Amino acid sequence: MSTIVTVLFFVTLTAASAFALTDKYEVVIDPAHGGSDPGVALSRSVNEKDATLTIAKMIKETLDKTENIKVILTRSTDIDLSVVDRKTMVDKATTDLFVSIHINAGFGNKSAGYEIYYSSRKGASSDNGESKEIVDDMIESRFVNDSIFFAQLAQRNIEKVFPREGRGIRDAPIFILEGLSVPAVEIELGFATHIKTRKKLDDEEVQKAIADRLSKSIQEFFTSSGE
Which phi and psi (to 5°) does residue 218 adopt? -65, -45
Beta bridge partners of 112: none
CA distance 73 to 54: 11
Q: Assign domain 2-7+23-225 to its CATH architecture.
A: 3-Layer(aba) Sandwich (3.40)
CA distance 120 to 185: 11
Alpha-carbon distance values, 118 to 25, 96, 168, 188, 199 (Å)? 20, 15, 11, 11, 27
Segment 211-225, tens digit of pLDDT: 999 999 999 999 985
Please measure the distance between the N-terminal and C-terminal CA atoms of the chain and give it in whole angstroms.
32
Segment 77-114, tens digit of pLDDT: 999 999 999 999 999 878 999 999 999 998 888 899 99
The DSSP code for 125 is P
Query: What is the value of pTM for the model shown?
Result: 0.85
* Three-state secondary-structure class, residue 97: strand
Taking only the tens of pLDDT, the chain with its 227 residues reads 444 333 333 333 334 345 554 579 999 999 999 999 999 999 999 999 999 999 999 999 999 999 899 999 999 999 999 999 999 999 987 899 999 999 999 888 889 999 999 999 765 444 555 654 544 555 568 999 999 999 999 999 999 999 999 999 999 999 999 999 999 999 999 999 999 999 999 999 999 999 999 999 999 999 985 44
> What ranges do the domains of the chain cover?
2-7+23-225
Q: In this structure, are residues 53 and 34 in contact, taking their beta carbons and an 8 Å threshold?
A: yes
Beta bridge partners of 184: 98
CA distance 227 to 201: 35
Which phi and psi (to 5°) does residue 194 adopt? -95, 120
List all residues 6 or more positions away from 4 whose beta carbon is below 8 Å from its beta carbon: 130, 131, 134
